[in-house]
Structure 1
Amino acid sequence: MGMIRINNLRFHTFNGVLPEERRNGQQLALDIAIKYPIETRVTHDDVHETINYAEVRNVTEQFITTHSYQLIESLANHLLETLLAAFPTVESINIKVRKYSVPMPGIFDNVEIEVEGAPDAN
């Protein structure tokens, strides 16, 4: 099974529990992995046979820049639903969201959450 990966997409967002996070915002980074049968569906060198990753990025940016959540878990779940609805021919989508400016003590690079889902079989 083929995999299309868009790594380290970055957006300035206004998500977070604390008022300062929602007021000042912070950078989030996303990795999006799309399982898609490239081997059997892409046979004519035609963008219409694959998942257009520029469109995946556009849908992601539109969602990220127009929604705000306290939890990046909520953001990831709702973005996953949005992408699955926008690209119903995929086998599954995996999203990792990294938040760098997390207001907690300690030395660390970031906090990362991961969600995965498949389109409804209806």
Structure 2
Amino acid sequence: MGVIRIHNLRFHTFNGVLPEERRNGQQLAIDVALTYPIETKVHHDDLNETISYADVRTTIDAFVHSHSYKLIESLANELLSTLLAEYRMATRIELKIRKYSVPMPGIFDDVEIEVAGDQRD
């Protein structure tokens, strides 16, 4: 089974629990993996036989810039639902969302949420 992956899409968003997060925003990074039977579906070097990763990026961009959540868990779940509905060709979609500049003590790079979903007939 083939997988189409896009790594480290970056967005400035206004998600977070604290007022300053919602006011000032912060950077999120998103990885998406769409499982799709490339080996059996792509035969003619034709974009119509596969999932356009440019379209996937556009869908993610539109979603993150038109929605705001206190929890990135909520963002992940809702974005996953949107992608599953939009890209029915994918049998499974996995998302990782990383949040930088998290307002908590300690030394770390980011916080990451990972969700996955399968198509339901």
Q: Same fold (TM over 0.5)?
A: yes
CA apart distance, 1:93: 0.3
Q: Could you say which residue in structure 1 is the equivalent of 2:15?
A: 15
Correspondences of 1:31-50 after superposition (within 5 Å)? 31-50=31-50
Is 2:2 the counterpart of 1:5? no
| Structure 2: runs of 5+ lacking an equivalent | none
Runs of 4+ more than 2 Å apart = none
Structure 1 alignment gaps of length 5 or more: none
The count of corresponding residues between Structure 1 and Structure 2 is: 121
Aligned partners of 1:106, 1:85: CA distance in 2, in Å? 38
Alignment of 1:9-88 (within 5 A): 9-88=9-88
Q: CA separation in 2, counterparts of 1:75 and 1:101?
A: 17
Shift of 1:120: 1.8
Q: In structure 2, how many angstroms separate the alpha carbons of the residues matched to 1:117 and 1:49?
A: 22
Between the aligned partners of 1:94 and 1:120, the Cα distance in structure 2 is: 15
Query: When the two structures are superposed, what TM-score results if normalisation uses the length of structure 2?
Result: 0.99
CA distance, structure 1, for counterparts of residue 26 and residue 91 of structure 2: 32
**C-alpha RMSD of matched pairs (Å):** 0.5
1:86 CA drift (Å): 0.3
Match of 1:97? 97
Same amino acid, percent of matched pairs: 68
| 1:58-93 CA distance string (max 9 Å, x none) | 000000000000000000000000000000111100
SS of equivalent residue, structure 1 residue 83: helix
